[in-house]
């Protein structure tokens, strides 16, 4: 009897001591997808049943932000957990516009000494893979140099040469997408990246893996599969009347309707990608042990400078779009499908892309990294309390959207946008006015001054670089 008891006790102790199976991670990043570009976030034009289902089975953030209104800074924040201003990657790599101010100098590649999310998972014994758009440096600074053992279809630019074979642009060769030679005429880039992602899952299904699928869609060039374009064309013609574009505070104009059939087709292909990946995980028995994260790198492209009227989406009720620090430029979707977490949960607490790295470490039980600007939100995902903090943005550059050098801070319900050319600032109450239509800086001067001083102090502490006067600028 005693021997039997000892045997059972030993078995129980071994069972308790046995390490849990490491949890896999699939991070899906969609380029330029706006906050309201999916059905679950409120679009009545785009069709996204798979993304909507992912949200219904997981956790959806309503006030999640990109660390910047443009891609490279946000992407740097995702892979390092640090703010772009601290990394000094504050512009999209290749953006060299000037105006009354000379843009602040910025890094054109992610420094190799930064610890990336790929390196953290690789060091923990995970198979790591990166597929698609990178835009954080060229040769010597590519994903394979930053902790990703497998890479696929990664070019040197911020967009593909084409979404159709051979995925090239002879006038912009760094945008040519490598590794997909021989594809038939009917192939489509979003589908092909998904093929690579599923093949990666197949190869590594018996070991823990971290897969970063970074779609080139829905960035320009605006190209969708003909059948999908045709599907949305009739629906586009039925969109209600009203002005197509309205002027923004700067020299830009903002699209007022979601009615672009080609863009809708591109979103539909992304949705098909999500459906295929979830089906692949389920077919291999991995769905119950894989965390899937779905997000974007900045707001939707709705605002362009000058007389250009081809911006494909609308972010209404949010103001402006990609490039701006108004809500339309920085508020983005975030869906976290954690099989062990709650289902169909909505989180209203603010967060930003700096938080993704530490949160993924927290969800998978890996040790935290030191000196990150982001916070681990895994406690919120389990029903905990949101951290009390301010969020900051720094964009000391000009952008083709019409945005000018600017910074922003959100603390609680209030957000301040500061303009560096003339040192003016606007104050908004995001709870009462998420569309940022009413500037409260004149009626609430103490609140405006307090936020502006806090923003300036944060820039000083972070080492943020500022633009300088342009001696060659002719105001005439």
| Domain residue spans of the chain | 22-388
| Nearest in space to 215 (alpha carbons), one of 275, 292, 294 | 294
Placement of tokens 């990246």 in the chain: 193
- Judged on CB neighbours under 10 Å (0-12, 13-18, 19+), 164 is middle
Strand 127-132, strand 150-152: pairing: parallel
State pTM to two decimals: 0.94
Within 10 angstroms of residue 307's Cβ, the number of other Cβ atoms is: 8
Q: Are the beta carbons of 153 and 178 closer than 8 angstroms?
A: yes
Placement of tokens 């899906």 in the chain: 28
How far apart CA 17 and CA 11 sit, in angstroms, is 10
- Judged on CB neighbours under 10 Å (0-12, 13-18, 19+), 440 is middle
How far apart CA 241 and CA 397 sit, in angstroms, is 35
How far apart CA 381 and CA 379 sit, in angstroms, is 5
Residue 356: phi, psi to the nearest 5?
-65, -45
What six digits make up the tokens of 471? 């001696």
Per-residue pLDDT of the chain (476 residues; tens, 9 = 90+): 333 333 333 333 333 433 478 999 999 999 999 999 999 999 999 999 999 999 999 999 999 999 999 999 999 999 999 999 999 999 999 999 999 999 999 999 999 999 999 999 999 999 999 999 999 999 999 999 999 999 999 999 999 999 999 999 999 999 999 999 999 999 999 999 999 999 999 999 999 999 999 999 999 999 999 999 999 998 888 776 678 888 887 778 999 999 999 999 999 999 999 999 999 999 999 999 999 999 999 999 999 998 899 999 999 999 999 999 999 999 999 999 999 988 999 999 999 999 999 999 999 999 999 999 999 999 988 877 777 899 999 999 999 999 999 999 999 999 999 999 999 999 999 999 999 999 999 999 999 999 999 999 999 999 999 999 999 997 54
Best CATH choice for the domain 22-388 from the list 3.40.50.12280, 3.60.9.10, 3.30.390.50, 3.40.720.10: 3.40.720.10
């Amino acid at each position: 009897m005693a021997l039997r008891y000892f045997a059972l006790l030993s078995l129980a102790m071994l069972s308790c001591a046995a390490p849990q199976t490491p949890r896999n991670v699939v991070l899906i990043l969609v380029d330029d997808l706006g906050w309201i570009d999916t059905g679950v976030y409120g679009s009545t034009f785009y069709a996204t049943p798979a993304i909507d289902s992912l949200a219904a089975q997981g956790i959806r953030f309503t006030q999640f932000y990109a660390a910047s209104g443009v891609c490279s800074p946000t992407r740097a924040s995702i892979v390092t957990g640090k703010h772009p201003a601290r990394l000094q990657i504050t512009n999209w790599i290749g953006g060299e516009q000037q105006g009354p101010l000379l843009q602040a100098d910025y890094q054109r590649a992610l420094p190799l000494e930064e610890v990336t999310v790929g390196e953290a998972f690789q060091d923990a014994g995970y198979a790591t893979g990166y597929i698609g758009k990178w835009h954080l440096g060229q040769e010597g600074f590519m994903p394979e140099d930053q902790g990703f053992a497998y890479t696929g279809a990664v070019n040197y630019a911020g967009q593909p040469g084409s979404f159709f074979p051979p995925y090239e642009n002879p006038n912009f060769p760094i945008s040519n997408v490598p590794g997909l030679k021989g594809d038939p005429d009917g192939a489509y880039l979003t589908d092909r990246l998904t093929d690579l992602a599923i093949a990666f899952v197949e190869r590594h299904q018996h070991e823990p893996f971290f897969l970063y699928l970074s779609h080139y869609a829905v960035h320009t060039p605006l190209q969708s599969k003909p059948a999908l374009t045709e599907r949305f064309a009739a629906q586009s013609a039925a969109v209600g009347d009203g002005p197509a574009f309205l002027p923004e505070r700067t020299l830009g104009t903002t699209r007022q309707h979601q009615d672009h059939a080609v863009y809708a087709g591109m979103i539909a292909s992304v949705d098909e990608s999500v459906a295929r990946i979830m089906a692949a995980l389920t077919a291999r028995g991995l769905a119950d042990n894989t965390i899937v994260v779905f997000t974007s790198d900045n707001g939707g492209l709705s605002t362009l400078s000058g007389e250009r009227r081809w911006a494909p989406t609308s972010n209404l009720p949010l103001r402006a779009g990609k490039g701006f620090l108004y809500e339309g430029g920085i508020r983005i979707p975030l869906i976290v499908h954690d099989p062990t977490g709650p289902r169909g949960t909505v989180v209203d607490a603010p967060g930003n892309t700096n938080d993704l790295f530490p949160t993924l470490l927290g969800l998978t039980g890996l040790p935290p990294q030191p000196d990150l600007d982001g916070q681990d939100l895994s406690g919120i995902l389990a029903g905990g309390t949101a951290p009390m903090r301010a969020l900051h943005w720094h964009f000391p550059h000009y952008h083709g959207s019409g945005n000018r050098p600017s910074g922003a801070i959100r603390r609680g319900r209030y957000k301040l946008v500061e303009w560096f050319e003339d040192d003016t600032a606007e104050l908004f109450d995001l709870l009462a006015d998420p569309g940022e239509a009413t500037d409260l800086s004149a009626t609430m001067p103490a609140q405006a001054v307090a936020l502006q001083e806090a923003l300036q102090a944060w820039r000083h502490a972070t080492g943020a670089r500022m633009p300088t006067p342009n001696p060659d600028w002719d105001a005439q």
